[in-house]
Amino acid sequence: MEKVKDLQIDSEAEKISKICKALGHPRRIQIMTLLWKKDNRTCGEIVELIPLAQSTISKHLLELKKANLINIKNEGKKTIYSIEAANIQVLKKYLTSYLSTIEISEEKKETVLTTTHKVRRGNSHLKQYNYQFPNKKRKELKI
């Protein structure tokens, strides 16, 4: 029977792992973007900008708090959410360091940076979510 090595994980790797896990949901990234654009928002303000139930937004805020990405401050009956910049800096430092080790050829940079947008007819309210319906015929328009 083989003995499994117990690898020690440093605290920075632990932090980055928690941050990445918390940011693994697109709604949480939206929430972080809103807070980055204007710090000190209430849950109600976030709900007005992201059309989800208040309870859903609260759950996402809790996950961001667990990863120490946001601060919570109580002012009377209001709870104010803001960015925890120090932990964002940890992630920024890691990603900057990691990305500096990757070489991308000039040809591939163009494909990474350019995007094509496909416009579909019907179900226009779902376009922003990029839903696909396998049983429906799709017409793609080039812009």
129-143 pLDDT tens trace: 444 545 555 555 555
* Residue bearing the bigger pLDDT, 24 or 140: 24
68 CB-near residues (< 8 Å, 6+ apart): 15, 18, 19, 84, 87
Report the pLDDT value the prediction gives residue 98, as an integer from 0 to 100.
Answer: 79
With a cut of 60, say whether residue 112 has pLDDT above it.
no
d(CA 70, CA 91): 14
Mean pLDDT of the chain: 78
Report how far Cα 37 is from the mean position of its chain's Cα atoms: 14
Report the pLDDT value the prediction gives residue 53, as an integer from 0 to 100.
Answer: 94
28-83 pLDDT tens trace: 999 999 999 998 999 999 999 998 999 999 999 999 999 999 999 999 999 999 99
Residue type, 6: D
Residue ranges covered by each domain of the chain: 11-95
Class of domain 11-95: mainly alpha
User: In the structure encoding, which two tokens stand for residue 105, read together?
Assistant: 């050829």
Share of the chain above pLDDT 90, in %: 43
Residue type, 92: K
User: In the structure encoding, which two tokens stand for residue 32, read together?
Assistant: 């972080």
Question: SS3 for 121?
Answer: coil
